[in-house]
Structure 1
């Protein structure tokens, strides 16, 4: 089965089915909260939305959203550039490819929650959310970029070799354009990972952000605020994913 067929099979056949699934989930959340089936820590969805409608809550969530969004965007860009450069280096210098692969695997194997304190002591509290987001996004894109740059066929490589193209020219003229759809697939995974990394990085003492708001809400047992912050983070992650999916569709139409 081709990759296009797999992607088509993964998409819902009807937008109505997707909307129905989301609506069912929202109703279930409301019912569980109303009946108290999950205890006081699970409020009704309407209560959370009522909290979000308050002006003070909107200002609080807005400031946190801007901080987390900025850290996630910075980490996404930093991690993406670093991942593409490392993947390109492994193509230009094939002898370094095994070592770079192992290094990426080792860094990814270290839990982000464990890297936070190390980054605080070396980079500072303000930079930690962005760096954690970069690490989270970078590995996802590195894996995709490595596969993408190897996606050109042997026949195409042979043509470039016969024409006397070096590794750099082959990378820019053949491997990069041929692997662009796969690279965008990696970006689609990296964007939500960057949001998660930014939230985790904020847990370690950042001044503001959704991660800080989550920790503060848990410590002060502010249930509605906790759920509002969690839903805001989920919405930010979903928005990043949707934007990259739209970009992926445009790239697939152009290159496939």
Structure 2
């Protein structure tokens, strides 16, 4: 087992090293033009204490919006999934509504939320929109996993629909719900960044717009790396939660 883990870790490290080398080679050879800076330039940008402080402060803003959107989207999606399981007649309508909402591009919704919920709250709402569909699909799929035989046994024992939901469907759906969160966490970061793009007073999206306007390529890449790191950290956190949930409920 230790050898297998060591092999996986070596593969991961090798992949990261190859990626870093490829990025640096492309920059040094000028293959992608001036819009592709070397990692040394990005590092020098982050070496400036003022720039680093600004990036960190805006990263925390995006993190807060992403976390808020993740919580909001998850709660709404799980509640909608629960309603579809408890009231089956509503399932087709909720499925279609979720599909229609998901079909609307977040880029089109962000300006609308800016004018309705406000510049400060719109990133979290956009993030919640991105999270909602993923978690709704995983929730409804998980709730449908309970076998008909188990339903029949609980029914014979006198359990009503709500008790079957609480004692059978929901526990079996938890691994599927966490699967959805694994995918939804990076989506929340993307949604929050898009929401900030359209006029939020702070956040990584605002920094991207500022970098475009001033042609500050190192800042643009520093922001991109920060957002990527945030999404990866969230992803690996929920991977760990997923493994624990699978061990407990399967």
TM-score bin (small chain):
over 0.9
Alpha-carbon distance between aligned partners in 2 of 1:97 and 1:235, rounded to the nearest angstrom? 37
Whether contact under 8 Å (1:160, 1:170) holds in the other structure is yes
Query: Which residue is equivalent to 1:94?
Result: 88
Name the residue aligned to 1:8.
none
Counterpart-to-counterpart distance in 2, 1:90 and 1:103: 12
Q: TM-score, normalised by structure 1?
A: 0.94
Q: Are 1:113 and 2:82 matched, yes or no?
A: no
Within-5 A mapping of 1:48-67: 48-67=42-61
Deviation at 1:254, TM superposition (A): 1.5
- Taking the TM superposition and a 5 Å limit, the aligned residue runs for 1:1-256 are 14-256=8-250
Distance in 2 (alpha carbons) for counterparts of 1:13 and 1:141 = 33
Q: Give the conservation status (yes or no) of the 8 Å contact 1:34–1:44.
A: yes
1:124 Cα deviation from its structure 2 partner: 1.0
Q: Residue deviations 1:90-132, cap 9 Å, x none?
A: 0111110000000000000000000112112211111110000
For the aligned residues, what is the CA RMSD? Answer: 1.3
Distance in 2 (alpha carbons) for counterparts of 1:251 and 1:201: 32
User: Deviations along 1:44-78, whole A, 9 cap, x unmatched?
Assistant: 01211221122111101111101100000000000
Q: Which consecutive residues of structure 1, in runs of 5 or more, have no partner in the other structure?
A: 1-10
TM-score (norm 2): 0.96
Q: Provide structure 2 residue ranges, at least 5 long, that are not aligned to the other structure.
A: none
How far is 1:217 from its partner? 0.1
Distance (whole Å) between structure 1 residues aligned to residue 241 and residue 51 of structure 2 = 33
How many equivalent residue pairs?
A: 246
CA offset at residue 253 of structure 1? 1.6
Asked if the contact 1:71–1:130 (Cα under 8 Å) also holds between the matched residues in 2, the reply is yes
Superposed CA offset, 1:117-159 (max 9, x none): 2112211111110000000011110000000001111111111
**1:12 deviation in Å?**
11
Per-residue CA deviations over 1:7-61 (Å, capped at 9, x if unaligned) read xxxx996221121111101110011111111100000012112211221111011
- CA distance in 2 between partners of 1:145 and 1:48 (Å): 41
For residues 53 and 164 of structure 1, what CA distance do their matches in structure 2 show? 67
Matched residues in 2 for 1:23 and 1:137: separation? 32
